[in-house]
A and B are shown apart, each in its own frame.
Chain A
Amino acid sequence: EPEVTQTPSHQVTQMGQEVILRCVPISNHLYFYWYRQILGQKVEFLVSFYNNEISEKSEIFDDQFSVERPDGSNFTLKIRSTKLEDSAMYFCASSLTLAGGQYEQYFGPGTRLTVT
């Protein structure tokens, strides 16, 4: 069964450093998302991406965050200058269609980001 993959599984970085989290969505999917989950809290939407541009972003997704699909397979989340409060599990997700399967999003295993 096709799956979303994410690398690395765990990233430790120092405050102020830039990090790039990588995702490979399911190959024929068209919509891509990033979510995060701070330990013990809810899964929170960050951003959705379609047709090489951001469709929607949350208030969490400020100027420190950016997303990119640099080639036909990868989807990345960059945090320019990490803060302690960015420590969380970051999930990438993808879906095939909007109308036909809006809620059938397939999630990756996550990247645990620890900012020290």
Chain B
Amino acid sequence: LAKTTQPISMDSYEGQEVNITCSHNNIATNDYITWYQQFPSQGPRFIIQGYKTKVTNEVASLFIPADRKSSTLSLPRVSLSDTAVYYCLVGDKSSAAAGNKLTFGGGTRVLVKP
């Protein structure tokens, strides 16, 4: 599994855009990049997944440069309720041999202030 590195914490204010960058220098060709969100005392929740370039959904955007050695999760116009821990995960989406477990790192604790 590719190792990921992301900031431990970030502070932001309501209405701002939050960008969290994750480094995954040894990402493999078959690996996808996935982000999960975890609110206090709740289970992780899938946010977005991508392989290359840009993916956007109703919650976030995911930017992946051509070399795929990093990715940036972008949360537009955050509100207080976006305060959570955000996890970057990298792994093979399709290989049964790799197992289908999720391996979480420490994540980035985002605090949105009023």
- 10 additional contacts (CB under 8 A) given A31-B100, A103-B46: A35-B102, A42-B104, A42-B107, A45-B101, A99-B94, A103-B32, A103-B34, A103-B91, A103-B93, A105-B102
Tell me whether A93 is interfacial, beta carbon within 8 Å: yes
Does A98 sit within 8 A of B, measured CB to CB? Answer: yes
Binds B, one of A11-19, A72-80, A107-115: A107-115
Q: What number of B residues sit within 8 Å (CB to CB) of A?
A: 26
A-B contact pairs, 7 of them (CB 8 A): A48-B101, A58-B101, A95-B100, A98-B100, A99-B96, A107-B42, A108-B43
User: Which residues of B, 65-94, contact A by the 8 Å Cβ criterion?
Assistant: 87, 89, 91-94
Interface pair B49/A107, CB less than 8 Å apart: no
Give the dominant DSSP class at B's interface: loop
How many chain-A residues does the 8 Å CB contact rule pick out? 28
> Is A64's beta carbon under 8 Å from chain B?
no
Which A residues touch B91, using CB under 8 A? Answer: 102-103
Specify the chain A residue showing the minimal Cβ separation from B99.
A56
List CB contacts (< 8 Å) of B28-49 with chain A: 32, 34, 38, 41-46, 49
